[in-house]
Structure 1
Amino acid sequence: MKELSDMMIAANDRFRAPYACHPSQSRGRLFAQPDSAMRNAFQRDRDRIIHSGAFRRLKEKTQVFVAHEGDQYRTRLTHSLEVSQIARTLARALGGDEDLAEALALAHDLGHPPFGHSGERVLAEKMKAFGGFDHNAQTLRVVTKLEVRYPEFDGLNLTWETLEGVVKHNGPLMPAGGDGSGLAWAFTDYEDWRSLELHTHAGLEAQIAALSDDIAYNNHDLDDGLRSGLLELEPLLDLPLLGDIFRRVETRWPDIKRNVMIHEAVRELIGLMVGDVLEETKRRLTEAQPASADALRQLDQPMVAFSEDMLAILAALRRHLFANMYRHYKVNRMMSQGQRVMSDLFDLYLSDPGVLPPDVQRDMGEAGSAQTARAVCDYIAGMTDRFAVEEHRRLFTVQGYF
């Protein structure tokens, strides 16, 4: 079996660039484990993420639309799958490790609470006196502590490269020589946080996952917005690039159905964004010539990036989405309801933790304490939209007689 494993690793290594992360050169796991005969280290990380409870719960966590609004819209789960597809494409074209890029894409939203960013704002406000809340930091907490699946350790015991990518995919978190002050609570709660080298950029694959997330959510929010009727097509025709794409599709197929036209235009826009990232990234790699994954981390700018022209196009699209979709009154109503649900649940659990399940109570201290607040926060952050709504109904609506 070891010979088969060595053959698989050698075959994959032929397609990796010198600046890619190599599973055979991984810095390892916090808890040492024997190698697998059939999967390399990054493939095992990806599989552990897919089999985690936190990943399954993404199926009913809000992207923009709450789950009960319809089953045709993106959830955190379908979004993560779409990010992983783009990440694999970019990693393959750039000579990165596809499995690591996929693992990071699948893991990037594991720490999101119910009801999207509005839910995150509630937890951040409620936890202000207890260390705060941040969904990226919560993702680290999920994969290093909250997933309890193995007898030897808590968490998923992922490789250093995957943990680094989860934490730093948006860039360095502190200056060189920093003492960790100002870091989100979960980073310093992780006892080995200094080893993650938070002053450097992440590896190529984490940078790929971050840009893939940008491509996916901008395009798919546009798609969902048009299909839901929250966005109108006519104003989009004035946006740079986007207007040209829709006009080109309509000219090519004048009798096309509206939903097919939307799909075709979004498909073309995704392709152009992916092509732009490839061109800009290859230009930067050619200039910088990083000889290894560690050399790439030490550079003073990310290697995976959009061109300046595409950044301007994205900025215009985001402004339009923010003004006309994310702040649409129907979305505001859904998010307002979600915020009330989360606020009510947090206040009740913190003041009366006896209403919580026994396994949650085991991690608590006194009512109102920081330890109890963190356990309450972990519990709520792990909920799906649907479970949070049902839990609120059970606790705040009198059902028949006592």
Structure 2
Amino acid sequence: MSIEDPYDDSARERIVAEPPKRVEAPVRLAFERDRARVVHAAASRRLAAKTQVVGPQTDDFVRNRLTHSLEVAQVARDLARAIGTHPDIAETAALAHDLGHPPFGHNGERALAGLSTDCGGFEGNAQTLRLLTRLESKTFDADGHSVGLNLTRATLDACTKYPWARSEATGPHGVHADGTPRVVVKFGVYDDDRPVFDWVRSGIEGRRRCLEAQVMDLADDVAYSVHDVEDGIVAGRLDLTRLDRDALWETVRSWYLPGLDDDALDSALADLRAMGSWPRTSYDGSRRSLAAIKNLTSDLVGRFCGSVQQATLAATGGEPPVRHRADLVVPEATEVEIGVLKGIAAHYVMQADDRVALMERQRQLVAELVERLWARGVDALDPVFVEDWERAGDDAGRRRVVIDQVASLTDASAVARHEALGQGRLPWG
């Protein structure tokens, strides 16, 4: 059976029907075309100048949102192929998963969430759906409205990490880097994007994510748990040979694994330390030391994906794990080990005093930028947002346009626009 066979006409349907092109060489299948559209999207290019953990301008080595997305895509594609689901769909979802992130990453998301409560809130995954189906320019419907990249139903479903609206979201848990309770709830669609969301989820009941979305989500967890630690080591912020166990476990529980006792966390760390590539000496910046870190990251990715592959294939009984026919199986031990690595990065990098102070300044900048744009109005918007402003029927709709504008900016362009508007100038004046 071809891997394309389980994906029927409904899975390949687009919001606006597209007749076959007369000349297209080489011929591409529907999901290959989806991947190409995401790769070539302007929102993908902007990820190169958006924060992953530390700002992209701080160091030549650290990852930005684009390099992170490429790494997630590689993990997702390999895992999808290994378990028998569609690699193009999983890879495209991974490439798209962070498109909705605003400047300054999750910190900017936190700021925008607090500034948009009266117009439907803000969440990076809901913004991704909005970009793919509205804000990115490629296709228009018969009424002259943008339908974004006009991706297939199966691909959009795979990009939906949280298939529910804000009103259906559960409360946030855990803390931010500064110790304050988390405030951003997780959801995948704004109210005014509900029609396209309902089209994507046609025939699907409840909150169940498709298998390809689960692959994307797991690949994201694997990539940033491993690579954020790598970035922290090379930046000199953490040393895997010298971990403060008591403080570290407090962070792990606060951020990721509430309720786990010290024994369970100790056991997971001991299993990681038993790996042959786990460092026995401190990183010193040498070529040999860099190679050792790379070997560790490779082994960790293989360790996590291998355990998930085995558990998933054992649970499917030979049936192709595609769309809503199966679920990804993540063994508890793997989940805890990933959580430990994420906690190491959170404790030594994200909670560092200089990072907390910088993040506060970033949130203030975002808040001031939103209010300056709001006060200046339509003439301060990029041309692509002018029609949205003019079509908005009320202040809530216009506020959403301002939020869309700010979310589209990179770290550097947000700073530049904030400065320009603060001086009474238009950004391009």
TM-score range, shorter-chain basis?
Answer: 0.7 to 0.9
Cα deviation, residue 201, structure 1 = 2.3
Distance 1:118 1:199 in 2: 30
- Tell me what 2:107 maps to: 118
- Tell me what 1:8 maps to: none
Q: Secondary structure at the match of 2:361?
A: helix
Distance 1:383 1:158 in 2: 23
**Equivalent of residue 285 in structure 1, options 316, 331, 334:** 316
CA deviation digits over 1:248-303, x for unaligned, max 9? 5659xxx98322222211221111111111112112212xx657746516xxxxx2
Distance 1:47 1:73 in 2: 26
Cα deviation, residue 204, structure 1 = 2.3
Distance 1:368 1:335 in 2: 32
Matched, 1:376 2:402: yes
Distance 2:10 2:197 in 1: 20
Matched, 1:137 2:126: yes
Matched, 1:350 2:350: no
Is the CA contact 2:372–2:422 (under 8 Å) kept in the aligned structure 1?
Answer: no
Is the CA contact 1:130–1:370 (under 8 Å) kept in the aligned structure 2?
Answer: yes
- Tell me what 1:203 maps to: 210
Cα deviation, residue 62, structure 1 = 0.6
Q: Given the superposition, is the C-alpha separation of residues 395 and 100 from structure 1 closer, same or farther in structure 2, using an over 3 Å criterion?
A: same
CA deviation digits over 1:155-200, x for unaligned, max 9? 0111001111112x35x538xxxx9756665265242322313615
Q: Secondary structure at the match of 1:112?
A: coil
Q: Given the superposition, is the C-alpha separation of residues 390 and 241 from structure 1 closer, same or farther in structure 2, using an over 3 Å criterion?
A: farther
Supply the AA of the counterpart residue of 1:206: A
Distance 1:92 1:369 in 2: 47
Cα deviation, residue 323, structure 1 = 1.9
CA deviation digits over 1:48-105, x for unaligned, max 9? 1111111111111110011211121111100111011111111111111111111111
Distance 1:163 1:205 in 2: 10
Q: Percent identity?
A: 34
Q: Give 5+ residue unaligned stretches, structure 2.
A: 170-186, 246-268
**Equivalent of residue 48 in structure 1, options 37, 44, 52:** 37
**Equivalent of residue 349 in structure 2, options 313, 320, 325:** 325
- Tell me what 2:388 maps to: 363
Matched, 1:276 2:265: no
Distance 1:135 1:85 in 2: 21
Matched, 1:264 2:295: yes
**Equivalent of residue 193 in structure 1, options 178, 193, 197:** 197
Matched, 1:163 2:192: no
Supply the AA of the counterpart residue of 1:296: R
Matched, 1:244 2:274: yes
Distance 2:139 2:278 in 1: 54
**Aligned ranges for residues 173-192 of structure 1 at < 5 Å?**
173=164, 186=190, 188-192=192-196
Q: Secondary structure at the match of 1:67?
A: coil
Q: Given the superposition, is the C-alpha separation of residues 224 and 249 from structure 1 closer, same or farther in structure 2, using an over 3 Å criterion?
A: closer
Supply the AA of the counterpart residue of 1:212: A
- Tell me what 2:13 maps to: 28
Is the CA contact 1:65–1:73 (under 8 Å) kept in the aligned structure 2?
Answer: yes
Distance 2:399 2:340 in 1: 40
CA RMSD of aligned residues (A): 3.0
Q: Given the superposition, is the C-alpha separation of residues 87 and 181 from structure 1 closer, same or farther in structure 2, using an over 3 Å criterion?
A: closer
Q: Given the superposition, is the C-alpha separation of residues 200 and 151 from structure 1 closer, same or farther in structure 2, using an over 3 Å criterion?
A: closer
Cα deviation, residue 232, structure 1 = 2.0
User: Is the helix fraction higher in 1 or 2?
Assistant: 1
Distance 1:56 1:246 in 2: 38
Q: Given the superposition, is the C-alpha separation of residues 81 and 33 from structure 1 closer, same or farther in structure 2, using an over 3 Å criterion?
A: same
Supply the AA of the counterpart residue of 2:14: R
Q: Secondary structure at the match of 2:98?
A: coil
Q: Give 5+ residue unaligned stretches, structure 1.
A: 1-12, 298-302
Supply the AA of the counterpart residue of 2:381: L
Q: Given the superposition, is the C-alpha separation of residues 95 and 310 from structure 1 closer, same or farther in structure 2, using an over 3 Å criterion?
A: same
- Tell me what 2:86 maps to: 97
**Equivalent of residue 330 in structure 2, options 300, 306, 309:** 306
Distance 1:367 1:94 in 2: 48
Matched, 1:336 2:347: no
Distance 2:277 2:87 in 1: 35
- Tell me what 1:6 maps to: none
Supply the AA of the counterpart residue of 1:235: R
Matched, 1:80 2:106: no
Aligned residues: 370
Is the CA contact 1:35–1:41 (under 8 Å) kept in the aligned structure 2?
Answer: no
Matched, 1:395 2:425: no
Is the CA contact 2:55–2:104 (under 8 Å) kept in the aligned structure 1?
Answer: yes
Quick check: 202-211 or 138-147, which moved more? 202-211
Q: Given the superposition, is the C-alpha separation of residues 180 and 312 from structure 1 closer, same or farther in structure 2, using an over 3 Å criterion?
A: closer
**Aligned ranges for residues 57-68 of structure 1 at < 5 Å?**
57-68=46-57
- Tell me what 2:252 maps to: none
Q: Secondary structure at the match of 1:235?
A: coil
- Tell me what 1:3 maps to: none
Matched, 1:296 2:325: yes
Distance 1:25 1:369 in 2: 37
